[in-house]
Each structure stands twice: as structure tokens, then as C-alpha cells.
A and B are shown apart, each in its own frame.
Chain A
Amino acid sequence: EAGVAQSPRYKIIEKRQSVAFWCNPISGHATLYWYQQILGQGPKLLIQFQNNGVVDDSQLPKDRFSAERLKGVDSTLKIQPAKLEDSAVYLCASSLGVSGLSTDTQYFGPGTRLTVL
């Protein structure tokens, strides 16, 4: 079974530029998550999708971050304009999303390491 795919793996941009990350979840997984992981910290949830609807985006800085999940499969996370403090690893994860199941396991992609100069 193919895992969660992410691209690019690395990205270096100047502040105020824009950047986009792509994620392809495991086939059949209804729930998709985007996390931000700053060096030395645990992951911080940015947004959670169930199929193509947003379940939770309360920690997404909406003035500069946006995300979409077209057709309930692939997802794109965009930052525009980027700030120095956005330097982090952006992780995508997916899960089956079975309703009412806290045992549902999240599977993670390799992440995209973003450096903002």
C-alpha cells in the first residue's frame, strides 16, 4: 500500500514570497490533516479535512495560509506572503476517518521542510 506522498521535500524562499505544498493521502482515507512542526517541537494541527469539507481550521493563520482539498483526495496548502517564522516542516497525514472511532490511526508523509530567508 502506498503511503502519504508530499512534494516538494525542501523549499527555500524569501520572505513575502508565496509557496505551495501538495499532499496525496493514502487511497481510501477520508480524513486529511496538515501540521506545522517547528524544530524541536511537536506537530501543530493547522487544518483537518473530512472528504472535501473542513472540519477544523481554528489554528490556521487565515490571513496568509490557505488550504483546499479538491474532490476529497489531493490537498494543497499555500502560504502567501511567507514570514520568517513560517520556517518549519509541514506534515500531511491521513486516516480512514471512520466516524466515532478514536482508535483511527494517522499516517504521515515525509514532510516538506520550508526555509524562509
Chain B
Amino acid sequence: GDSVTQMEGPVTLSEEAFLTINCTYTATGYPSLFWYVQYPGEGLQLLLKATKADDKGSNKGFEATYRKETTSFHLEKGSVQVSDSAVYFCALSDPMDSNYQLIWGAGTKLIIKP
């Protein structure tokens, strides 16, 4: 079945450091890919998404490129801030799934130190 694998956390960085959170997937069809973020005590928010190969999703300084050849959707940010501390979830939606449900990664906790 479909699956999403994320790098294990926590990831601890200093402010202004470069961030990469790895995400790879397996899917039957040609999925749409999502990054959601969950700030402490809050629900999940869509951060960005990409729906076809080579698409780049971007928001709030974060970027991720849909790489079909490596089945990856790594999240990057050039200069992180303390306010970026949160849990980040990679997810996919497979058009071969008639219910279009999201398949979730386990989440990666990001801690940014001032």
C-alpha cells in the first residue's frame, strides 16, 4: 500500500540555519503531495502542496519540490526562525484511492534555538 517516510526527529537547529526535512513516498498512482505543520497546542495547517512532477510548493519561506524520479518531497527553508518550531507532517493523496484519503508520515519535530 501507499506510504510516506519522514526523517526522524527531533531536529534541532540554531536560528538562521538552513533546514531540510526529508520525505519520501511510495504510491500506486500519481499522488498529490502535501506538507502540514502543527504548532504547539494547535491543529494541523496546510503549509504547501504540489500536484505534479517538478512542481514546487512554497509558503512562508518554505519550499518543496515534487521529484518523481526519486519519489521525494523534501521540505527546505533557507533561514529558520524560533517561530518555526513545530511538528511537520508530509502526506500524500493517491488518485488511485477512490476516497482520496491522506496517507501521513509520522511527523518530524523541529526545534529552533535562539
Contacts and interface: CB of A to CB of B under 8 A. Distances in A.
B102 interface: yes
Nearest to A97: B100
Interface in B78-98: 89, 93-95, 97
Nearest to A45: B101
A36 interface: no
Contact of B32 (A93, A102, A107, A110): A102
B43 A108 contact: yes
Interface in B20-62: 29, 31-32, 34, 36, 42-46, 49, 51
Contact of B43 (A40, A100, A103, A110): A110
Contacts of B43: 4, 6, 91, 108-111
Interface of B: 29, 31-32, 34, 36, 42-46, 49, 51, 89, 93-95, 97, 99-102, 104-107
